[in-house]
């Protein structure tokens, strides 16, 4: 059975502060569980904007419109350089985070083999 070479955690949210708090808490728990030898790369992806336009009064005025904007930020944490025991601890931490996740955050976890 091949061991995963890297684990990537993709975090999406509409609020930057939730992502920031999540990453700081993740680093804190890694340090507390003595997983200091891991190499973690933090990649910030560009901001995704979705704009919606609604007509206020569709019968008469086409000029009276309301625009709304939905901003989503995305961060990827790529974890490498881990052993089998560290991998087991990482899986437990990731499962803990997925169970105790705020509603505004979405997380996807991928493992890559080389």
Task: Give me the CATH number covering residue 84.
Answer: 3.30.70.600
What is the tens place of the pLDDT at every residue in 11-21?
999 989 999 99
Residue 111 CB-half CA count within 13 A? 11
In a domain, 3, yes or no: no
In a domain, 68, yes or no: yes
Number of domains in the chain: 1
DSSP state of 114: -
| Residue span of the structural domain in which 65 resides | 11-112
pTM of this structure: 0.79
Torsion region of 37: left, alpha or beta (phi above 0 gives left; psi -120 to 50 gives alpha): alpha
In a domain, 6, yes or no: no
CA-CA distances (angstroms) from residue 90 to 9, 27, 71, 109, 111? 11, 12, 30, 11, 12
- How far is Cα 109 from Cα 7, in angstroms, rounded to an integer? 7
pLDDT reading at 60 higher than 90:
no
In a domain, 2, yes or no: no
In a domain, 100, yes or no: yes
Per-residue tokens: 5: 């070479």
Q: Which residues pair with 77 in a beta bridge?
A: 9, 42
In a domain, 30, yes or no: yes
Average pLDDT over residues 31-36: 86
In a domain, 60, yes or no: yes
């Amino acid at each position: 059975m091949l061991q995963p070479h890297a684990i990537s955690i993709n975090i999406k949210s509409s609020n930057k502060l939730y992502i920031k708090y999540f990453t700081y808490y993740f680093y804190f728990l890694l340090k507390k569980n003595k997983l200091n030898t891991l190499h973690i790369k933090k990649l910030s992806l560009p901001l995704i904007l979705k704009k919606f336009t609604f007509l206020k009064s569709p019968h008469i005025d086409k000029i009276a419109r309301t625009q709304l904007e939905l901003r989503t930020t995305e961060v990827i944490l790529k974890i490498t350089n881990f052993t089998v025991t560290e991998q087991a601890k990482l899986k437990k931490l990731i499962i803990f985070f997925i169970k105790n996740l705020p509603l505004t955050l979405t997380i996807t976890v991928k493992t890559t083999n080389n």
